[in-house]
Structure 1
Amino acid sequence: MRKLPVFPSLRSFLDWSKGRGELSTLPDPVRVVHQMTAVHDAVLRRSGPVLRFDAPILADGTRSSIPVVTNVFGTTERVAAGLGLPLDRVSEFGEFLASLRAPAPVEGMRDAMSRWPMLKAALSTRPKMSKTGPVQEVVLEGDAVDMTRIPVQTPWPGDAGPLLTWTTVITRAHGTEADAAARYNLGVYRAQVIGRDRIIMRWLAHRGGAAHHRTWAQANEPMPVAVVLGADPATLLAAALPLPEGVSELTFSGVLRGERAHLVPAKTVPLLVPAEAEMVLEGWIHPGETADEGPFGDHTGYYNSVEPFPVMRVSAITHRRDPLYLSTYTGRPPDEPSIIGEVFNDLALPVIRQQIPEVVDMWLPPAACSYRMAVVSIRKRYAGQGRRVMMALWGMLAQFSYTKFVVVVDDDIDVRNWDDIAWALATRMDPGRDVMVVDRTPMDYLDFASPLEGLAGKLGIDATNKIGAETTREWGQVMALDPGDRDFAADLIARRLPGLK
């Protein structure tokens, strides 16, 4: 299945990007306060290369010796490459992942042998262990721990301070063993730096890290946490994937990487961490210790409100001898998370079709914060089918509970073409008949449009052709040219108007 080399580390992916002319090194001094985001944003909007800032300037005006890497996933092609695939193979990989979730019964030896890639993928989830690794070439503890020496960005003018963004946060539930990697949770949570050895861990209540935190709080014991900075692409993307509950992102990364995860024991907390990462922050979250986090610019394009979140006391910083610091920013799309979302859209489609077979295609417009709107095309066979699909989507995955607009169209509509969508809405939808409103449903509390924090309405629009009991009128017939006439026109234009695009 994998078509690209294995990337066991971030720097191996950077080497591959450099070989393709997709990595640019910037020797100019660039401030981590606001300037770096401005450069990154301008390059991302031009579908530009990975950026390596070799002269990051800290908030106090001094130069950091740690280069900053941004825009790693600034194009859909590089996101797919992080999965080990060319972009046109993402949907095929999605079919493979769907088969892992619900494999069909084996029928004979030939069928069993044909499933070797699936078996190999399952075996790739078992991590390999070492006593130490490159990420622990340097170990800083006690007074040597100093978060202010890491070139952490302050992305936006209204931000409260330095913000760790491309974090891969490793946690486990109270009562689980440190070596039980299959029971770990990985999440990408932003973390505000508030001192030499203090960061605020912002995880929302429905996320895996927060669920683990509640188990330690109930036991009234400090919780061990490891924050990985600069993980390999497979680990980063696995942490961002909407995997089924109970599936460990750390072990699942082996499926994406094409080889087993390489782990080592952390130095000061009972956790396993990626051996090939650039840096790891180890520490503890003590019961009841919180601090006000924010405000920070978010993926909505607005600053979020200030709220209390748990504080992590950093007990150690481990890193390579020559570490890189991986960073990004979040803001109104396009940004790296929205570009990753475009690829995950195609990756998730086969899983959605497993549950809702009539779905032909789906698009989560990046401009709508990547998940707040879905346009779905279906093969319609019976009255009320559009509404059934809306409700099925909202209830299928936790992520779709935050999708507040669902537009359902027929399979002759291109769901990625706003002109097609507008035509379907204008000609196949009646506002008094084809709109479904649901009230007081779960919603991202960062949605300031919602009347209550965490609760909001949902809007479903059935823009399909109406059949059966859905209408009492004779429905119109779509106009279309004869295919033979289209071919004639295309041939004539190619011969007589060759410059016409």
Structure 2
Amino acid sequence: MRSLPVFSDLRAFLAHAEAAGDLARLSAPVDLRHEMTAVQLAALRKGGPILRFDAATSEGKRAAMPVVANLFGTPARVAAGLGLQLDEVPAFGDFLAALRSPAPVEGMRDALSRWPVLRAALQGRPKLLRHAVAQEQSAPLDLSLVPVQTPWPGDAGPLVTWPVVVTRPHGSEAGQVARYNLGVYRAQVIGPDRLILRWLAHRGGAAHHRSWLRAGEPMPVAIALGADPATLLSAALPLPETVSEMAFSGVLRGARAEIVAAKTVPLLVPANAEIILEGWVHPDETAPEGPFGDHTGYYNSVEPFPVMRLSAITHRRDPLYLTTVTGRPPDEPSVIGEVFNTLALPVIRAQIPEVTDLWLPPAACSYRMAVIQIDKRYPGQARRVMLALWGMLAQFSYTKTIVVVDRDIDPRNWDDIAWAMATRMDPARDVMVLDGTPMDYLDFASPREGLAGKLGIDATTKIGAETTREWGRVMALDPAHEARATELLRGVIR
């Protein structure tokens, strides 16, 4: 399935990118406050390389370690993080859908043909190590030694932006990796040994925190900084709650995840990360988090979130610090979202077979709007698809607007979408509005926090009982004439 080598750690991925001319080392001083954000976004918007800042500075002092940014700044690099070329991502999406819901096996030949699926399941089992490079050295409990960015001018302070936060529910054992959650949550630095963990209520880390809170016990937490690409992408993927991100990373990596026991908390952590932060979240200890610039392009409001008190910091002998910037698209999360869009399509089609394509426009914050292409066969089908999508995955409950189009409309082409809406949609008949539905509380347009409306637009050709008028015929040229035109104009029009 993989066409690229296994990337066992961040450094292997960086070496691969550098060999391909896709990594730039910057030796000039760059300030961690705001200036680094400008450099990262400028590189991303030009499709630029991974950036390694060798002279990151804070208050005029050079940072103790290099900073890596723009890791997944292009779709090709996101695919590479999965071990794939970009054109191999759709097939990998089919593979993941089969892994999630395998069809019944029909005989030995069929079983042998599915060896890649069986092999992937075996690769999902992590390998426990006794020693790990992530624990080569112990550091003082001082987060000022880590070159954490302050991304935007209105931000409250330094913000860890690529943390892989490792948690497990109360009542579980440290060795029960299948019950772990790996999530990428914002982590605000508020002291040498304290972080605020901003996990939203529907995320796995928050669910685990509630279980420890009910028991009235402190919760062990670990944060892996600079994890390998498969671990990073597994933590960012919207996986089902029953799927362990740590185990799933083995499927993405093409090799079993390597883990090691943390030094001061009862957790197993990624063995090949650059830095590991360990600590505890005590019951009812919160602090006001924010404001920080968010993926919507606005600063979020200040709210209380749990505080993590560090008990240990370990790292490699010469650690790298991985960072990113979140803001109005395009940003790194929106680029990752483009590739995840392709991966998600086969899973969606398994539940809603008439869906033939799907686009989540990055400019609409990657999930606030969806354009769905369907193979329409009966009246009311577009509305059924809208309702099915809103109810299928938790992530789509935050999709404010769905536009449904026919197969002859390119769902990634705004001109096609506009034409379909202008010629196939009647506002009084084809617009569906829902009220009081779940919404990301960062959506400031919502009249009530956490609740908002949904808009469904049926921009498909109307058939059967949907209309009493004869529908117009779409104009099209003879393909042979179009081919002849291309031949005649070859060399005339460039």
Shorter-chain TM-score tier? over 0.9
Distance 1:72 1:3 in 2: 19
**Aligned letter for 2:93?**
G
Instruction: Tell me the equivalent position of 2:434.
Output: 438
TM-score, scaled relative to structure 2:
0.99
Shift of 1:499: 4.5
The secondary structure found in structure 1 opposite 2:285 is strand
Instruction: Tell me the equivalent position of 1:146.
Output: 142
**Aligned letter for 2:228?**
D
Instruction: Tell me the equivalent position of 1:246.
Output: 242
Q: Which 10-residue stretch deviates more, 47-56 or 61-70?
A: 61-70
TM-score, scaled relative to structure 1:
0.98
Instruction: Tell me the equivalent position of 1:227.
Output: 223
Q: C-alpha offsets along residues 194-228 of structure 1, whole Å, 9 cap, x if unaligned?
A: 00000000000110000000000000000000011
Distance 2:489 2:352 in 1: 42
Q: C-alpha offsets along residues 323-377 of structure 1, whole Å, 9 cap, x if unaligned?
A: 0000001000000000000000000000000001001100000000000000001
Q: C-alpha offsets along residues 430-478 of structure 1, whole Å, 9 cap, x if unaligned?
A: 0000000010000000000001111000000000000000001110000
Structure 1 residue 266 and structure 2 residue 265: aligned?
A: no
Instruction: Tell me the equivalent position of 2:334.
Output: 338
Structure 1 residue 160 and structure 2 residue 153: aligned?
A: no
Distance 2:108 2:283 in 1: 55
The secondary structure found in structure 2 opposite 1:226 is strand
Distance 2:34 2:383 in 1: 45
Distance 2:492 2:193 in 1: 64
Structure 1 residue 192 and structure 2 residue 191: aligned?
A: no
Q: How do 1:5-404 residues align onto structure 2 when only pairs under 5 Å count? A: 5-58=5-58, 60-140=59-139, 144-404=140-400
Pair 153,353 (structure 1): closer, same or farther in 2 beyond 3 Å: same
Q: Which 10-residue stretch deviates more, 163-172 or 242-251?
A: 242-251
Q: C-alpha offsets along residues 220-262 of structure 1, whole Å, 9 cap, x if unaligned?
A: 0000000110000000000011111111101100000000000
**Aligned letter for 2:95?**
F
The secondary structure found in structure 2 opposite 1:406 is strand
Gaps of 5+ in 1: none
Distance 1:65 1:173 in 2: 35
Distance 2:344 2:66 in 1: 34
Instruction: Tell me the equivalent position of 2:466.
Output: 470
Distance 1:362 1:77 in 2: 19
**Aligned letter for 1:86?**
Q
Distance 1:149 1:226 in 2: 18
Distance 1:461 1:382 in 2: 17
Distance 2:331 2:300 in 1: 17
Q: C-alpha offsets along residues 50-80 of structure 1, whole Å, 9 cap, x if unaligned?
A: 000001112x321112000000000000000
Distance 1:248 1:372 in 2: 26
**Aligned letter for 1:29?**
P
Distance 2:95 2:251 in 1: 11
Q: C-alpha offsets along residues 264-284 of structure 1, whole Å, 9 cap, x if unaligned?
A: 000000000111100011000
Instruction: Tell me the equivalent position of 2:493.
Output: 500
Instruction: Tell me the equivalent position of 2:406.
Output: 410
The secondary structure found in structure 1 opposite 2:27 is strand
**Aligned letter for 1:500?**
I
Distance 2:213 2:290 in 1: 23
Q: C-alpha offsets along residues 415-438 of structure 1, whole Å, 9 cap, x if unaligned?
A: 000000000000000000000001
Instruction: Tell me the equivalent position of 1:461.
Output: 457
The secondary structure found in structure 2 opposite 1:377 is strand
> Once superposed, what is the RMSD of the aligned Cα atoms?
0.6
Shift of 1:306: 0.2
Shift of 1:489: 1.1
The secondary structure found in structure 2 opposite 1:173 is coil
Distance 2:315 2:428 in 1: 61
**Aligned letter for 1:213?**
H
Gaps of 5+ in 2: none
The secondary structure found in structure 2 opposite 1:139 is strand
